[in-house]
Chain A
Amino acid sequence: MILSPQAREKIVAAAKQYPQVKSAILPALHVANEEHGYVSDQMYREIADLLDLKCVDVAAAASFYTYFPKAPRGRYYIQVCRNISCALLGARHLSTYLQEKLGLKELGETTPDNLFTVVEVECLGSCTTAPMMQINDDYYENLTKEKVDQIIADLKSRAPGR
Chain B
Amino acid sequence: MQTKILTEFVTDPQQHRIETAVSRGAYQAWEKVVREIAPDDLIELVKKSGIRGRGGAGFPAGVKWGFVPRQSPKPKYLCCNADESEPGTCKDRVLLENDPHRVIEGMAICSFAIESHQAFVYIRGEFVLAARRMQAAIDEAYQRGYLGKNIFGSGYDLDMVVHRGGGAYICGEETALLNSLEGDRGVTRIRPPFPAVEGLYGCPTVVNNVETLSALPSIVNRGADWWAQLGTEKSTGTKLFSLSGHVKRPGNYEVEMGYSLKNLIYEKGGGILDDKKLKVVIPGGSSTPMLTPDKIDTPLDFESVVTAGSMLGSGAVIVIHEETCIVWVTELLAHFYAHESCGKCTPCREGTQWMYEILRRIEHGRGTMEDIDTLLDLADNIEGNTICPLGDAAAVPVISSIKQFRDEYIYHIEHKKCLVKSDFRLR
Contacts and interface: CB of A to CB of B under 8 A. Distances in A.
Nearest to B250: A128
Interface string A10-23: 00000001111111
A128 B320 CA distance: 13
B165 A93 contact: no
Contact of A93 (B187, B243, B339, B425): B425
Interface stretch (A1-9, A107-115, A143-151): A143-151
Interface string B149-181: 000000000010101111111000000000011
Nearest to B130: A125
Nearest to B241: A128
A120 B427 CA distance: 19
A19 B200 CA distance: 10
Interface in A102-141: 121-131, 134, 137-139
Contact of B424 (A92, A125, A139): A92
B87 interface: yes
Contact of A127 (B90, B333, B427): B90
Contact of B186 (A30, A64, A89, A94): A64
A61 B168 CA distance: 11
A123 B169 CA distance: 9
Interface stretch (B13-21, B120-128, B380-388): B120-128
A60 interface: yes
B244 A130 contact: yes
B184 A61 contact: yes
Contacts of B324: 88
B426 A123 contact: no
Given A84-B318, A123-B336, A93 B426 contact: yes
Contacts of A134: 126
Interface in B329-361: 329, 332-333, 336, 339-340, 342
Nearest to A123: B87
B50 to A, nearest CB: 27
27 contacts: A24-B183, A26-B166, A30-B125, A30-B164, A61-B184, A64-B342, A65-B168, A66-B166, A67-B165, A68-B167, A84-B245, A84-B286, A84-B333, A85-B245, A85-B318, A87-B332, A88-B422, A90-B425, A93-B425, A122-B336, A125-B84, A127-B87, A127-B316, A128-B242, A137-B129, A144-B426, A148-B426
Given A21-B183, A122-B87, A125-B92, 7 more contacts: A20-B201, A22-B183, A85-B87, A87-B424, A127-B90, A131-B426, A145-B426
Interface of B: 75, 84-90, 92-93, 118, 124-129, 159, 161, 163-169, 180-187, 201, 242-246, 250-252, 282, 286, 316, 318, 320, 324, 329, 332-333, 336, 339-340, 342, 422, 424-427
Interface of A: 17-27, 29-30, 53, 57, 60-62, 64-68, 79, 82-85, 87-94, 97, 121-131, 134, 137-139, 143-145, 148
